[in-house]
Amino acid sequence: MISIQNLNKIYKTKSGVVNGVDNVSLEVKKGEIFGIVGYSGAGKSSLLRCINLLERPTSGRITVDGLDLTKLRRENLRQARLKIGMIFQHFYLISQKTVFENIAFALKAANMPQAKRKKRVEELLKMVGLADKRDVYPSQLSGGQKQRVAIARALANNPTVLLCDEATSALDPTTTKSILNLLKKINQELNITIVLITHEMNVVKEICHRMAIMQDGRVIEEGSVYEIFAKPQTDLTKEFISSVVSFDIPEAIYKECEGPIVKVTFRGTVAGEGVISDTLQQFQVKGNFLHGSIEYIQDLPLGIFIMELRGQKEEIHKAISYIKNREAEVEVIQHGL
């Protein structure tokens, strides 16, 4: 659906040359929600804006729905862009126009006949839950309502791709959840491919199928959201995940533990099985739970538990081997005294 190949975007600044996007290659599948995560300056906004050529790449290729956008001339590129909707953090609504007029403006710009505009706008307002706000002005709307208008405007021309540039960063947690639910609904009902950038792992965890982590213009990790949460490979990814799934334990607790402390990770259906209780029943080992939780990512459980194991060394080794054989990952994070 979206193919990004060896993409580079170089900016010339007073202080020198900056590589905003550094040799990035990604594939986004049709109908999926793909998240791009990174801190400010990581290059994620530059990458997103290259996808619809709001930023023209210095080199590389962007193919959307089989069209290489980097090779299209002005008119053909304009037509291709009609199939790529975009929403922003700060909404960018026209304050002098009503909700209805803001959405209709996108249709007018695409030369849709006036007779068809009214029906299309009303369809969109119903879709985003703002049918009763058609005649009000942006200043009369909440942040979440403004973003819903922006989403309706982005969907006006029946795009196949929706790009979201920090679409929930300016919203409170409750409103963020409602907007994410709307995006999920749009993805499922209209089969629109969504690419969103964010610095919030909760957003990715909530709705994305796959994701990429960016740092200094490069993609440093990529994969399914579930696998990245279950087994992050880089320190930055682990840092992002810790903002959502934290297992910080006070140092004083560690000092009180005499046996080895292990971190046990269960993936998929195994997370719902009684592996730990089975282990403690079968071996002469006592377990002291220090932390744990089961997260649900894309409706799949991911269980992570931290516990102290007490008993004879041989029994502890047997218990750890048993847990591993039950398709769990065991990491010893502190050896016993």
- pLDDT tens digits along 223-267: 999 999 988 999 999 999 888 877 778 888 878 888 888 888 888
Residue 314 CB partners (closer than 8 Å, separation 6+): none
- pLDDT tens digits along 73-114: 888 888 888 899 999 888 889 999 999 999 999 888 888 888
Residue type, 155: L
Where is 77: in which H helix or E strand?
helix 74-81
Predicted pLDDT at 170: 83
Tokens describing residue 308? 């102290």
Measured in degrees and rounded to the nearest 5, phi and psi for residue 276 equal -65, -45
CATH number of 2-232: 3.40.50.300
Predicted pLDDT at 250: 82
Residue extent(s) of CATH 3.30.70.260 domains in the chain: 251-334
Predicted pLDDT at 212: 97
Predicted pLDDT at 14: 85
3-class state of residue 103 by DSSP: helix
For 184-208, give the DSSP string.
Answer: HHHHHHH--EEEEEES-HHHHHHH-
Structure-token match 């994305």, residue found: 208
Predicted pLDDT at 267: 82
- Rounded Cα distance between 159 and 112, Å, is 14
Contact 275, 263 (CB under 8 A): no
Residue extent(s) of CATH 3.40.50.300 domains in the chain: 2-232
**In this structure, which topology does domain 251-334 adopt according to CATH?**
Alpha-Beta Plaits (3.30.70)
Residue ranges with strand state E in 29-176: 33-37, 59-64, 67-68, 84-88, 161-165
- Rounded Cα distance between 168 and 89, Å, is 6
Which residues of the chain carry a pLDDT beneath 70?
Answer: 270-273, 336-337
| Gyration radius of the chain's alpha carbons | 24
Query: Among 84, 298, 72, which Cα is nearest to 193's?
Result: 84
Query: Among 106, 138, 141, which Cα is nearest to 121's?
Result: 106
Q: 71 forms bridges with which residues in the sheet?
A: none
